[in-house]
Amino acid sequence: MKQQQRNGDARGAVFAPVDNRARVDTVVRRIGDAIELGLLADGEQLPGESELAGQLGVSTVTLREALMALRQQGLVTTRRGRGGGSFVARPASPGEERLRARLRGWSTEELRDLGDHWAALSGTAARLAAERTEPDDLRQLRRTVEDFTGAGDAAARGRLYGRFHVELAAAAQSARLTRAQVALQTEVGALLCLVLGNDAYREEVADRHRRVISAVQDVAHDPAGTLAETCVRESTARLISLRLTL
């Protein structure tokens, strides 16, 4: 049931209405990041054009332009005829140039502000999880950490890193925190691929995540929150350092 809730929240964040600024670009980024994060499964059929345009709050013309751009990026394929439509075509790994271009669009101040928001969400989720969750509820978090440890490429690591923080919010039994974390991961999650290629850093992240789980299980509210915040701030610092080199 909780897994279904997480999936539902993720899809809700992906298909929530976009803002009025540069709507085609916003739709392309929203769906493109969701595909690269694994929030939309490889081969999954997207809603029909009219339905999807209504969900995103854009015109069908805008949606068609966005889908054309996604097809050009190799993230969506279109099939004609019976059983046709637009389907997710997640690449084996995100295009590094696309991600670097995306990172160049952020100033260091914006990245720092994003990191503050992320740390606040994850820290609060960890503290609440320590108060509310049961030991059996931590199985999925542990499984995600082990999957992260065994992931051989940066794209998979980025998806699993983001999934851990979404599942931590779900363990806090807060639907709002979970939705907020999913929405945030569509902003920052894909960028994490740029800093997770290093095996030593992968082990560091996995160790911190394990310590978060242990603190939650031990009902250690403040240590759990501090550990979650530290993990997020370290990743944000790495993104900022990379941004300064571009």
CA-CA distance, 60 to 194, in Å (whole number)? Answer: 33
135 and 170 fall within a common domain? yes
Model confidence pLDDT, tens digit, residues 196-210: 988 899 999 999 999
Of all residues in the chain, what percent carry a pLDDT higher than 90?
56
Q: What is the pLDDT of residues 218-237, one digit of tens each?
A: 999 999 999 999 999 999 99
Q: Is the pLDDT score of 4 beyond 50? A: no
Quick one: 128 and 201 in the same domain?
A: yes
Asked if 194 and 111 sit in the same domain, the reply is yes
pTM, entire model = 0.69
Q: What is the pLDDT of residues 138-148, one digit of tens each?
A: 999 999 999 99
Phi-psi region at 220: left, alpha or beta (left = phi > 0; alpha = psi -120 to 50):
beta
On whether both 116 and 165 belong to a single domain, the answer is: yes
Give the whole-number percent of the chain exceeding pLDDT 70.
Answer: 89
Q: What is the pLDDT of residue 11?
A: 60
Kindly state whether residues 66 and 117 are assigned to the same domain.
no
Specify the amino acid at residue 76.
V
The pLDDT score that the predictor gives to residue 187 is 79
pLDDT at site 6 = 46
Q: Compute the distance between CA of residue 195 and CA of residue 236 in angstroms, rounded to an integer.
A: 10
CATH number at residue 34: 1.10.10.10
CATH number of the structural domain spanning residue 169: 1.20.120.530
Q: Give the Cβ contact number of residue 143 at 10 Å.
A: 12
Cα–Cα distance for residue pair 219/160, rounded to 1 Å: 24
Do 132 and 34 belong to one domain?
no
Reported as a pLDDT band with limits 50, 70 and 90, residue 54 is very high
Q: Domain residues for 231?
A: 97-245
What are the Cα distances from residue 103, in Å, to 34, 109, 158, 190, 239? 16, 12, 15, 10, 8
Which of 91, 125, 156 is the last residue in one of the domains?
Answer: 91
Do residues 108 and 205 both lie within one domain? yes
Q: Where are the beta strands (DSSP E) in the chain?
A: 76-79, 85-88
